[in-house]
Amino acid sequence: MNTVSSNRSRELDRLLTFGKLVPVITIERAEHAVPLARALVSGGLRLLEITLRTAAGADSASRIIAEVPEAIVGIGTVLTRDDLKRAVDLGAKYALSPGATPTLLEAAARGELPFIPGIATSSELMVGLSFGFDTFKFFPAVPAGGIPALKALGGPFPQVKFCPTGGISEDNARDWLALPNVVAIGGSWLAPEGDLNAGNWSALTERAKRALARIGQ
């Protein structure tokens, strides 16, 4: 592992100490971004994944970074080198992808931004390892085989850490976190579309507190 990848890995490890639950957030209206982030931080969730799935995604992330310093903002749904550059330009602390092409992995490997590439199979995992990454987003977690799949991957890849996302809920979050190779989990249930659109910030705060209590944090 070269110096850049080693530093990037250490910084990612440091960031993940701030929480085991990462809300996966898709924002349609940028004016919702700041109150949403404040609600989640008030509930104890500092690590946020703001996706680039909507036209408001980048602006939302920018507003949160500028106005909610307690939030640790990552950019999700990074699909291309341009998306990765946008995450860096926005001032994100980390970035994530649902999958990973060699082109994207190469760009991320050259940079210093902590990056969590997405994988669903052992072959994809091996490609990611060849670029120097050791922490991966297992996506879509439940459709891709769920907890049994991650247990199986732990055999041939004991050095790999995972942040599974996709199909995880408050009811099964603790089961995922009980796996030794899982360092955090992502979930859209922590910031559901209904509460965002309704501006129901207190519900988001209470959901965050309840989720943390259920996993023992």
Round to whole Å and give the CA distance between 37 and 95: 17
Task: Tell me which residue of 200, 168, 163 sits closest to 182, measured CA to CA.
Answer: 163
d(CA 52, CA 25): 9
Instruction: Judge whether 167 and 207 are in contact, CB under 8 Å.
Output: no
Q: Which of 20, 28, 31, 49 is catalytic?
A: 49
| CA 99, chain centre distance (Å) | 13
Active site residue 124: no
Residue 52 and residue 98 in contact, taking contact as beta carbons nearer than 8 Å: no
Element holding 122 (H helix, E strand): helix 122-130
Give 112's contacts (C-beta < 8 A, 6+ positions apart): 4, 7, 8
Which of 137, 151, 170, 206 is catalytic? The answer is: 137
SS3 content of the chain, % helix, strand, coil (to 5): 50, 15, 35
49 is catalytic: yes
Cβ contact 29:107 at 8 Å: no
Positions marked catalytic:
49, 137
